């Protein structure tokens, strides 16, 4: 997606996603480098920067192979004197943790901002971790905008803070902040600064973290941390409002400020309660918190995620012998589960303050949308792969353990396929299968991993499988893009974030170079062909007790349709021959194509608005009941298999 609004003219008021506002802030500061691995809810930040870079020819922007590499690249740019940004979702910081901690010891020569997009409520993630703990653990300040309204200013402030202390800064955002659309006041974009080049100055006592150097840098780091904490007590993003002589203080941390302010307004206490906004909460601004606590009897914390600042403040108050009652998530007034909402904050605050109130009426919904269970898209090549793989495993008479991974294919955990027994983290499919392959009997570990995920975190596990002779089947689902996050390119596509043609890495060649003896590619849309290859690969694993790797290649159907439309190529729509259909239900039950549904008599029917012209239904129907309205063209058949991001 282009996000053209990121380059709106200066002096305008433009509607932007919070993530695009973050990107605009980075441009207005004048970054020279940006990197990321796509992951919801962070993806649009670098998508917008990528669009800007194509139009302005600056800054340099890349989609990196994983979050660790992305951080190392941005870190390297900052060490060479170029302001840099790296963005990732919260679990990506786990992948990047090693260089993150080291960056605090060495510091940086130009600003470095690490965006962590947390996902409370787990809209598209496997956990709800609060990455402010990383800032505390690594001694890296955390900027946390109070809503999308503050996103652009928070990004600029993060870069200025990093510049002031020559220290990396984490900008913690969240799904609600990144995916809310707000009006943004645009400023100037310094084009010459975006194009600036750096120069690395050799200083090995600072940039080579051998123990002798790191011990000295540790002392400097702790001294710097104290200076940063004092600076945050007077930073304008941390501010207070309301009566200073109030006996009650409510602290809204980041997005929590919005909910705190709205709750106080609803309770009629806005002019009676002191409200403190913390948009740079880590390290905690000790002087500010101690000053605001003077004369207070009760302090209530509202923060997204864990009670991080509440816990640190309790420790501070204990050390300073501040006798005041502190509450929030830490003692159950607000639940730790899911995102903040007014319905969660308001009752907790009212209870703590002993205020009676009437719960606001929920928003009225006039229409109830039809149920929309999650499912692979009509025409998704993964559906054909799952179908063929299940049949092949049955023919080979093996009991599979399906080790899944992170991607669209995670939906394989659902009926009717139910072909994901584990889904843990990026690369976990091959990783877990490695261990299982050496300890199970009469079961075959099958690792199912996407193409982007293979390059992200699959290759080390594959090397381990070859080295330790792990008998497993590895299926790389190659749909020619990073589909789940919006069709970003990856090393197997041959296109960079800036739209330039580049080397196209082939998972088959990579696997063979690593020593995989049985490695081959299949057509993801050819069900019978795949089935044959899967059976052969399974027999190889059983006989040789070594890993086999299959790349099932077929473009994401949404990408194929987009490419076809740009090339004025028509894709076919299929229909059901009612005379041939026997109402067996194979197509809409076992194959589960969303475009196919049963009529009252059980016979299948195709919704022409949902049909994507994949032709998979023709292959699975034993009665030849599916037919195209017109024969698919050679151009369409090629696009289905080769389409890639532009």
Query: Domains of the chain (ranges plus CATH)?
Result: 4-195+205-232 (3.40.50.970), 238-353 (3.40.50.920), 381-558 (3.40.50.970), 573-630 (3.30.70.20)
Query: What pLDDT score does 370 carry?
Result: 74
Tally of residues, the chain: 646
Query: What pLDDT score does 361 carry?
Result: 76
Segments of the chain scoring below 50 in pLDDT? none
In 64-168, which ranges are E strands?
84-89, 112-118, 142-143
Query: What pLDDT score does 1 carry?
Result: 67
H-helix or E-strand containing 32?
Answer: none
CB neighbours of 294 closer than 8 A, spacing ≥ 6? none
Q: Please identify which residue in the block is written with the tokens 């151009």.
A: 635
| pLDDT 10s digits, 339-367 | 999 999 999 999 999 998 887 777 777 77
Query: What pLDDT score does 358 carry?
Result: 83
Contact at 8 Å (CB) between 448 and 406? no
| pLDDT 10s digits, 600-614 | 999 999 999 999 999
| Nearest alpha-carbon partner for 35 in 65, 16, 76, 63 | 63
The three-state DSSP-derived secondary structure of 178-247 is: HCCEEEEECCCCCHHHHCCCCCCCCCHHHHCCCHHHHHHHHHHHHHHHHHHHHHHCCCCCEEEECCCCCC
Contact at 8 Å (CB) between 131 and 170? yes
């Amino acid at each position: 997606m282009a996000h053209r609004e990121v380059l709106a003219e200066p002096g305008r008021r433009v509607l932007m996603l919070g993530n695009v506002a973050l990107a605009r802030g980075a441009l207005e500061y004048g970054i020279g480098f940006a990197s990321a691995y796509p992951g919801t809810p962070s993806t649009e930040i670098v998508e917008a920067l990528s669009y800007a870079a194509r139009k302005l020819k600056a800054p340099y922007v890349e989609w990196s192979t994983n979050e660790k590499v992305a951080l190392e690249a941005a870190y390297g740019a900052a060490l060479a004197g170029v302001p840099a940004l790296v963005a990732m979702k919260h679990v990506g910081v786990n992948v990047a943790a090693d260089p993150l901690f080291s960056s605090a010891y060495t510091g940086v020569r130009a600003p470095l901002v690490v965006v962590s997009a947390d996902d409370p409520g787990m809209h598209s993630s496997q956990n709800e971790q609060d990455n402010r703990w990383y800032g505390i653990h690594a001694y890296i300040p955390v900027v946390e905008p109070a809503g999308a309204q503050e996103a652009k200013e928070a990004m600029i402030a993060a870069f200025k803070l990093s510049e002031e202390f020559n220290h990396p800064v984490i900008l913690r955002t969240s799904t609600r902040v990144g995916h809310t659309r707000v009006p943004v006041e645009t400023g100037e974009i310094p084009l010459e600064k975006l194009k600036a080049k750096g120069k690395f100055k050799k200083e090995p006592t600072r940039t080579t973290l051998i123990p002798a150097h790191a011990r000295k840098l540790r002392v400097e780091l702790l001294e710097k941390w104290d200076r940063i904490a004092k600076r945050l007590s007077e930073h304008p993003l941390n501010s207070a409002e309301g009566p200073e002589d109030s006996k009650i203080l409510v602290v809204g941390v980041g997005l929590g400020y919005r909910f705190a302010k709205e709750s106080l307004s609803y309770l009629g206490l806005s002019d009676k309660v002191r409200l403190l906004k913390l948009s740079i909460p880590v390290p905690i601004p000790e002087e500010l918190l101690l000053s605001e606590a003077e004369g207070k009897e009760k302090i209530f914390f509202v923060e997204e995620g864990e009670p991080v600042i509440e816990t640190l403040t309790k420790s501070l108050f204990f050390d300073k012998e501040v006798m005041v009652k502190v509450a929030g998530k830490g003692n159950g007034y607000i639940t730790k589960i899911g995102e903040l909402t007014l319905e969660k904050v308001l009752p907790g605050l009212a209870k703590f303050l002993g205020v009676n109130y009437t719960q606001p009426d929920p928003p009225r919904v006039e229409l109830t949308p039809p149920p929309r269970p999650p499912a692979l898209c009509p025409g998704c090549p993964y559906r054909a792969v799952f179908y063929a793989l299940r049949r092949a495993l049955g023919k080979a008479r093996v009991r599979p353990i399906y080790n899944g991974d992170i991607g669209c294919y995670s939906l394989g955990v659902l009926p009717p396929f139910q072909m994901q027994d584990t889904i843990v983290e990026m690369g976990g499919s091959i990783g877990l299968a490695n261990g299982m392959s050496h300890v199970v009997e009469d079961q075959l570990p099958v690792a199912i991993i996407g193409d982007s995920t293979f390059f992200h975190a699959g290759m080390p596990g594959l090397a381990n499988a070859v080295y330790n002779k792990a008998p497993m089947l590895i299926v790389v689902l190659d749909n020619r893009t990073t589909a789940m996050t919006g069709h970003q390119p990856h090393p197997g596509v041959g296109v960079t974030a800036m739209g330039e043609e580049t080397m196209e890495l082939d998972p088959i060649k990579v696997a063979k170079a690593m020593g995989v003896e049985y490695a081959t590619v299949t057509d993801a849309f050819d069900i019978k062909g795949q089935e044959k290859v899967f059976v052969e690969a399974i027999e190889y694993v059983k006989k040789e007790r070594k890993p086999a790797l299959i790349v099932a290649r077929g473009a994401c159907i949404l990408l194929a349709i987009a490419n076809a439309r740009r090339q004025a190529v028509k894709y076919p729509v299929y229909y059901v021959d009612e005379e041939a259909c026997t109402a067996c239900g194979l197509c809409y039950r076992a194959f589960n194509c969303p475009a196919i549904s049963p009529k009252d008599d059980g016979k299948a029917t195709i919704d022409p608005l949902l049909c994507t012209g994949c032709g998979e239904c023709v292959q699975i129907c034993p009665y030849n009941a599916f037919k195209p309205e017109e024969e698919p063209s050679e151009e369409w058949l090629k696009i289905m298999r080769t389409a890639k991001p532009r």
